[in-house]
């Protein structure tokens, strides 16, 4: 039998039993569409996170106090109290020739007020180089002045949102704001950049690290961002940082140095795993669709017993009858899968209109996998009914007994 | 051309053995016109099914054109059915979703005969059975007599050597029945071997040879 005749026979049968056909197409389509949508969510999260990371700048090492037991992981939550990192440590690291520039970060919350308006905000202590390390931009004024790391001065840069809350549309440059019991002069305002890495720079007040330390009455640094010149330099810079701190901390390795790549690849792994598991969950609905195809095809075989008997009388061997019924389930699953792709991708498009910041993007492998799984469940679950049809006794089938 | 040697076919119904065919021996020559008659349950249909290779005898040998077809594989038996045997059933067995022409072409389609040749042969057969303008009708748009003519057209389109007709007039009124028998007899005149099961004595006696059956046994 020619392939086009086989296909035509299948299509005749599909048209002959419309309700059944629509139900099966729908089941398949829903399965495939959910694979597309769920993996798009996972993949979107992955792309979103890596975009966030790239806003941090490239070739960045993050130095934090305390030693992580596993490389590339998160710092320990409990354990020995490590020695703090200080601004002297920062100055020492800065002398490494593999370090291009670095920015310490001191972090705390404090009330910030101007005239009658007061806000509780994040205060970030750092240095002038934070500007280029974090790849920031300003909407007005200038950033922290270049000066000795350990020197305090009474200036600050306001986050864009904070400035709006405290000053409205008037220029804050040159005005004095009160931060807890200190006063400092506003010298700049950050650009409206939105959130990056969970920290909204629009909501913070940035001041020299030494000033922040005395504001919060601490000697420690929350973390240090170290920038190297290139990918190759990063490893050297990392080793340098470790060596310098070990020497300064009486031979103890009590810091953790994370590279941005390591962090990113950790997130990447987690989110890829998430995408796979979402895909797997969605694939269960494909399995359900497969079982539905099996049931409906079994009913179809029962309905068409006489027809199968006739095919045998007309000289169809078993192989051909299996082929005819398998073609039918394969066609149903392929068409269902195509509809599912259509539903899924247009679903993505609609979601994208509602959430323009989040990339809804189905990974290519998911599209292929969805179609392949749809087809193979169709064939797999179509096999039983097809064999059932081929094994029918011709005489019984024809007599309708 | 057909030779049955001690064919037996028993069915198990509960604990009882029913003899569908009991030690049947039969010789049928090329081009014969035979009617098979007998009471209900005497084994007429079972005989046709064995002759048509739809049913396997438990004992005995069946020679068709000199070869022992009881020994053939499933695939080869299917080939013999396709090439040598035409079936006509009491209940027509047309595929309801296909048109008359598609139903008639079905054996050729299954055999992989190309489109053009198929169409040509279908047109020829439709013409010879005066169904020319019924080709695109579906079975439910045809009368009983027309349906049976479509079924006969489907049976002859492969040019079989044997035509097995199991009560082809059973569901038809007298006039359509006569019409169908006339067609079958015409086919026989053109050389086909015709085996006709019927309850109608008048129709049965038109055959050149009558086989009587009773409790699975054949009395010529
Ligand atoms: N599949 C089967 N299972 C059990 N018994 C069967 C089966 N097929 C036929 N028989 C029995 O075999 C015997 C012969 O049946 P068959 O159908 O050949 O009779 P028939 O002569 O064609 O009768 P009718 O004129 O009513 O069509 C009957 O007793 C029937 O009950
Ligand atoms: Mg019968």
The complex scores an ipTM of 0.95
In whole numbers, what is the pLDDT of chain B averaged over residues? 94
Structural domain contains residue A372? yes
Q: How many CA atoms lie within 13 A of A169 on its CB side?
A: 0
Closest CA to A101 of A111, A110, A90, A112: A90
| Residue B59 structure tokens | 């004992």
* Residues forming a β-bridge with B212: B37, B219
> Which pLDDT score, from 0 to 100, does residue A337 have?
93
A11 close to B (CB below 8 A): no
Task: Count structural domains, chain A.
Answer: 2
Residue ranges near ligand 2 (ion) with Cβ within 5 Å: B 45
Among A229, A253, A277, identify where a domain stops.
Answer: A253
Give mean pLDDT in consecutive 10-residue pieces for chain A, a chain of 401 residues: 91 89 90 91 87 71 76 52 84 90 93 91 92 86 91 93 91 93 93 66 91 93 89 86 89 83 81 87 84 86 92 94 93 93 94 89 88 88 92 89 66
A5, A307, A316 member nearest B95 (Cβ):
A307
Rounded distance between C-alpha atoms, residue A308 and residue B139, angstroms: 17
**Crossing angle (nearest 10°) for helices A87-94 and A231-248:** 130
A2, A13, A395 member nearest B54 (Cβ):
A395
SS3 A99: strand
Q: Which residues contact A193 (CB under 8 A, 6 or more apart)?
A: A136, A137, A160, A201, A202
Write the CA distances from B96 to A165, A290, B135, integer angstroms: 77, 28, 14
Q: Identify the residue among B20, B40, B46, B54 best suited for mutation to test binding to A, counting A beta carbons within 10 A and taking the highest.
A: B54
Based on the fold, state whether residues A310 and A205 are members of the same structural domain: no
Among A211, A233, A253, identify where a domain stops.
Answer: A253
Residue having the nearest C-alpha atom to atom 18 of ligand 1: B43
Structural domain contains residue A69? no
Tell me the CA–centroid distance for residue B44 and ligand 2, in Å: 6
Contact check, Cβ <8 Å, B78/A312: yes
Q: What is the pLDDT of residues A53-75, one digit of tens each?
A: 766 666 888 898 887 654 444 55
Structural domain contains residue A31? yes
Based on the fold, state whether residues A240 and A295 are members of the same structural domain: no
Closest CA to A248 of A121, A78, A122, A87: A87
Contact check, Cβ <8 Å, B97/A15: yes
Based on the fold, state whether residues A249 and A318 are members of the same structural domain: no
Share of chain B above pLDDT 90, in %: 94
Based on the fold, state whether residues A178 and A87 are members of the same structural domain: yes
Tell me the CA–centroid distance for residue A393 and ligand 2, in Å: 16
The number of residues in chain B equals 220
Set of chain B residues whose Cβ sits within 8 Å of the Cβ of A310: 93, 95
Rounded distance between C-alpha atoms, residue A122 and residue A107, angstroms: 7
A305 close to B (CB below 8 A): no
Residue having the nearest C-alpha atom to atom 12 of ligand 1: B20
Structural domain contains residue A159? yes
Q: What is the pLDDT of residues A355-390, one digit of tens each?
A: 888 888 888 888 898 888 888 888 999 999 999 999
Tell me the CA–centroid distance for residue B13 and ligand 1, in Å: 11
Based on the fold, state whether residues A236 and A103 are members of the same structural domain: yes
Residue with tokens 């806003």: A55
Q: Which of residues 100-119 of B touch A (CB under 8 A)?
A: 102, 106-107, 109-112, 114
Greatest Cα pair distance in chain A = 102
Rounded distance between C-alpha atoms, residue A260 and residue A50, angstroms: 10
SS3 B5: strand
- B44 CB less than 6 Å from ligand 1? yes
Structural domain contains residue A248? yes
Determine the atom of ligand 1 nearest the C-alpha atom of B39: 25
A307, A309, A315 member nearest B110 (Cβ):
A315
- Parallel, antiparallel, or unpaired: how do β-strands A204-208 and B59-64 relate? unpaired
Based on the fold, state whether residues A375 and A318 are members of the same structural domain: yes
Based on the fold, state whether residues A18 and A163 are members of the same structural domain: no
Contact check, Cβ <8 Å, B110/A318: no
Structural domain span for residue A237: 83-253
Contact check, Cβ <8 Å, B109/A5: yes
Rounded distance between C-alpha atoms, residue B88 and residue B168, angstroms: 6
Rounded distance between C-alpha atoms, residue A320 and residue B111, angstroms: 10
Q: Which residues contact A288 (CB under 8 A, 6 or more apart)?
A: A27, A31
Based on the fold, state whether residues A97 and A193 are members of the same structural domain: yes
SS3 A246: helix
- B148 CB less than 6 Å from ligand 1? no
Q: Identify the residue among B77, B97, B98 best suited for mutation to test binding to A, counting A beta carbons within 10 A and taking the highest.
A: B97
B78 close to A (CB below 8 A): yes
What is the number of the ligand closest to the CA of B36?
Answer: 1
The alpha-carbon gap from B201 to the nearest alpha carbon of chain A, in Å, equals 24
Among A227, A253, A279, identify where a domain stops.
Answer: A253
A12, A317, A394 member nearest B98 (Cβ):
A12
**Crossing angle (nearest 10°) for helices B100-111 and B144-156:** 20
Based on the fold, state whether residues A303 and A188 are members of the same structural domain: no
Burial classification of residue B10, based on how many CB atoms lie within 10 Å of its CB (0-12 exposed, 13-18 middle, 19 or more buried): middle
Structural domain contains residue A66? no
- B189 CB less than 6 Å from ligand 1? no
Q: What is the pLDDT of residues B5-33, one digit of tens each?
A: 999 999 999 899 999 999 999 999 999 99
| Residue A159 structure tokens | 């986050």
> Which pLDDT score, from 0 to 100, does residue A71 have?
47
| Residue A22 structure tokens | 């629509």
Q: How many CA atoms lie within 13 A of A103 on its CB side?
A: 25
The alpha-carbon gap from B220 to the nearest alpha carbon of chain A, in Å, equals 25
A46 close to B (CB below 8 A): no
Based on the fold, state whether residues A393 and A333 are members of the same structural domain: yes
Question: How many CB pairs (< 8 A) connect A and B?
Answer: 70
Structural domain contains residue A65? no
* 3-state per-residue secondary structure call for B59-120: EEEEEECCEEHHHCCHHHHHHHHHHHEEEECCCCCCCCCCCHHHHHHHHHHHHCCCHHHHHH
Write the CA distances from B81 to B55, B60, B78, integer angstroms: 12, 19, 5
DSSP A76: P
For residues A382, A385, A390, A394, the Cα torsion angle rounded to the nearest 10 degrees is: -150
> Which pLDDT score, from 0 to 100, does residue B55 have?
94
Structural domain contains residue A188? yes
C-beta separation of A339 from A25 below 8 A = yes
Based on the fold, state whether residues A202 and A223 are members of the same structural domain: yes
A311, A316, A398 member nearest B89 (Cβ):
A398
H or E stretch covering B24 = strand B16-28
- Parallel, antiparallel, or unpaired: how do β-strands B2-13 and B16-28 relate? antiparallel
**Crossing angle (nearest 10°) for helices B74-84 and A305-313:** 80
B210 close to A (CB below 8 A): no
Q: What is the pLDDT of residues B35-90, one digit of tens each?
A: 999 999 999 999 999 999 999 999 999 999 989 999 999 999 999 999 999 999 99
- B8 CB less than 6 Å from ligand 1? no
Based on the fold, state whether residues A104 and A188 are members of the same structural domain: yes
A9 close to B (CB below 8 A): yes
């Amino acid at each position: 039998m020619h392939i086009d005749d086989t296909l035509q026979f299948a299509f005749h049968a599909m048209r002959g039993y419309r309700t059944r056909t629509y139900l099966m197409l729908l089941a398949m389509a829903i399965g495939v569409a959910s694979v597309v949508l769920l993996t798009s969510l996972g993949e979107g999260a992955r792309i979103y996170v890596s975009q966030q990371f790239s806003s941090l700048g490239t070739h960045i090492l993050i130095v934090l106090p305390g030693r992580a037991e596993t490389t590339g992981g998160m710092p320990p939550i409990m354990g020995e109290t490590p020695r703090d990192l200080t601004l002297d440590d920062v100055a020492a690291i800065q002398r490494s020739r593999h370090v291009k520039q670095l920015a310490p970060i001191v972090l705390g919350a404090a009330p910030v007020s101007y005239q009658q308006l007061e806000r509780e905000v994040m205060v970030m202590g750092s240095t002038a180089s934070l500007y280029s390390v974090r790849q920031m931009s300003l909407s007005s004024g200038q950033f922290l002045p270049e000066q000795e790391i350990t020197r305090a001065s009474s200036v600050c840069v306001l986050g864009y949102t904070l400035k709006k809350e405290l000053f409205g549309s008037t220029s804050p440059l040159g005005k004095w704001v009160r931060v807890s019991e200190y006063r400092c002069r506003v010298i700049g305002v950050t650009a409206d950049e939105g959130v990056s890495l969970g920290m909204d720079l629009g909501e913070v007040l940035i001041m020299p690290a030494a000033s922040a330390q005395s504001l919060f009455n601490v000697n420690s640094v929350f973390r240090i961002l170290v920038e190297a010149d290139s990918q190759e330099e990063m490893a050297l810079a990392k080793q340098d940082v470790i060596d310098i701190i070990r020497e300064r901390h009486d031979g103890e390795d009590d810091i953790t140095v994370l590279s941005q790549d390591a962090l990113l690849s950790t997130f990447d792994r987690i989110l890829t795993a998430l995408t796979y598991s979402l895909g797997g969950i969605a694939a269960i609905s494909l399995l359900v669709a497969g079982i539905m195809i099996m049931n409906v095809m079994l009913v179809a075989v029962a309905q068409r017993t006489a027809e199968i008997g006739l095919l045998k009388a007309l000289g169809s061997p078993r192989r051909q009858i299996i082929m005819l019924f398998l073609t039918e389930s394969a066609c149903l699953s392929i068409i269902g899968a195509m509809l599912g792709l259509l539903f899924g991708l247009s679903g993505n498009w609609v979601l994208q209109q509602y959430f323009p910041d989040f990339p809804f993007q189905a990974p290519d492998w998911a599209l292929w996998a969805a179609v392949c799984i749809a087809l193979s469940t169709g064939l797999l679950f179509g096999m039983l009914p097809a064999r059932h049809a081929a094994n029918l006794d011709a005489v019984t089938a024809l007599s309708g007994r | 051309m057909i030779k049955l040697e001690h064919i037996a076919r028993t069915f198990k119904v509960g604990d009882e053995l029913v003899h569908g065919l009991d030690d049947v021996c039969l010789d049928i020559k090329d081009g014969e016109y035979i009617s098979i008659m007998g009471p209900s349950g005497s084994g007429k249909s079972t005989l046709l099914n064995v002759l048509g290779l739809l049913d396997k005898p438990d004992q005995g040998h069946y020679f068709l054109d000199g070869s022992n077809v009881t020994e053939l594989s499933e695939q080869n038996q299917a080939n013999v059915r396709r090439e040598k045997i035409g079936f006509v059933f009491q209940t027509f067995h047309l595929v309801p979703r296909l048109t008359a022409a598609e139903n008639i072409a079905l054996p050729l389609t299954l055999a992989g005969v190309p489109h053009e040749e198929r169409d040509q042969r279908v047109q020829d057969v439709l013409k010879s059975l005066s169904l020319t303008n019924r080709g695109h009708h579906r079975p439910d748009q045809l009368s009983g007599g027309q349906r049976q003519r479509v079924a006969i057209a489907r049976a002859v389109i492969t040019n079989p050597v044997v035509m097995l007709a199991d009560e082809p007039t059973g569901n038809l009124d007298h006039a359509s029945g006569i019409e169908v028998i006339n067609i079958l007899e015409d086919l026989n005149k053109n050389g086909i071997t015709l085996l006709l099961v019927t309850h109608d004595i008048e129709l049965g006696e038109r055959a050149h040879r009558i086989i009587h059956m009773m409790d699975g046994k054949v009395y010529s």
